[in-house]
Amino acid sequence: MTDRPLAAIILAAGQGTRMKSETHKVLHPIAGKPMLHHLLDTVDSIGVERTVIVVGARREQIEASVEGRDVAIAVQDDQLGTGHAVAQAHDALRGFAGDILILYGDVPMVSADTMRDMIFRLNNGTDPRAVVLGFRPDDAAAYGRIISDDQGEIEKMVEYKDATDAERRVDLCNSGLMAARSTDLFILLDQISNDNAAGEYYLPDIVMLPGQKSAVIEVADPAEVAGVNSRAELASVENTWQTRRRAQAMADGVSLIAPETVWFSHDTEISSDVVIEPNVIFGPGVSIASGAKIFGHSHIAGATIGPNASVGPFARLRPGAILEEGAKVGNFVEMKKATLGKGAKASHLTYLGDAEVGEDANIGAGTITCNYDGYFKYKTVIGKGAFIGSNSALVAPVTIGDGAIVGAGATLTKDVAAGDLALVRAQQTAKAGWATKFRDAMLKKKR
């Protein structure tokens, strides 16, 4: 990088009609975070002093999404091309003297290193008018081509439809991303024309204006400049992000039994020596400590999983779920805003909501905490070493003391003291021979 001040203009004024969505295109999530915010986080990480987002249709959605972030909003009322869109940021950058990155809200995967490389090239070498980010896709298809010399100076940029056969054989393509100096950019934009079939002002046209040549640098991974214009492209970028995150997790010492079936959130935190079986999905806000094991087909969001804890298979941990060291949640167990203490177990078919379960407690199959009366939530407290028998309903607010035992099938509405046994069931009775007589009578009727 350089010591020069840095600004970013992010274009997000497009209609996004191919998404067929009421949600603005750039607010569709990748790994649970809007793609625009992926880009903003990267921009923030390189020390950008001013960020301007150019908006158009559904601007109120973007304004609400970035509320609290240090960004300016510029409005493009009429869709008159990318050059016109960038020009709308002029007022927001008035008085700024430095370098400007031009980015796209629907191209969210550009890395900080690539952004730094663009700025470095702008201020080094041949002192170019602008720097264009080029890429070499597997299929150049109908992308605009960049013709450059061996020093990376651009000799010509041409749209595919206007290119000759020789130019079409060039595989260096224009990503649309650019860097320029604030002292040059808006002067150059004033010089471009809309004399084209669409009647629009195209940003790349500043490169071909007379005078100082521009330069191109190539992005190392073409996936960085993948744009999102449809649901299929959104899924493709999501897959790219997930593939990278899985690779990083394994490099950090996490075992993924079937990596392609594990889906992370943008903020998932996993320590080394964690094992994750197939078909596990992480929502936002998950932290997993070393030695934990996540069995298959589990869904986890907003949960903290302690050292050597065990989750699943087929478990669901909702926000506020906490498993302390060595705790176990088994198959078809759901937790929400509940803590399972050190060494405690809920092995199967259980719901723990708004609950605090003490160390080494055992929760039998079919147990539920009845925490909601239709209006308010109430808390259940289960003490250390307590044993809750199968198919019990604990009607909150209720407290089970340390070492207490609740017999199977109980519906508890009152507290149980430490060390006590609580039984809530009718006395069992038997009628000798009744079943045999009944069966015989029914068989006679059936004949």
Q: Helix, strand, or coil here: 116?
A: helix
Radius of gyration, alpha carbons of the chain:
31
266 an active-site residue? no
Could you tell me which residues are beta bridge partners of residue 218?
Answer: 134
Residues whose CB is less than 8 angstroms from the CB of residue 380 and which lie 6 or more positions away in sequence, other chains included = 352, 354, 355, 356, 369, 371, 394, 396, 397, 398, 399, 400
**Cis omega (within 30 of 0) on the bond before 397?**
yes
Measure the CA–CA gap between 123 and 102, rounded to whole angstroms: 16
* Residue of 37, 38, 84, 348 with catalytic role: 348
The sign of the torsion formed by the CA atoms of 241, 246, 247, 248 equals positive
Q: Dihedral, CA atoms, 54, 215, 133, 85, nearest 10 degrees?
A: 20
Distances (CA, A) of 201 to 131, 174, 196: 19, 17, 9
Q: Are 309 and 325 in contact (CB under 8 A)?
A: yes
The amino acid at residue 364 is G
Task: Quickly count: other Cβ atoms within 10 Å of residue 80's Cβ.
Answer: 16
Task: Quickly count: other Cβ atoms within 10 Å of residue 342's Cβ.
Answer: 18
By annotation, the residues acting in catalysis are 348
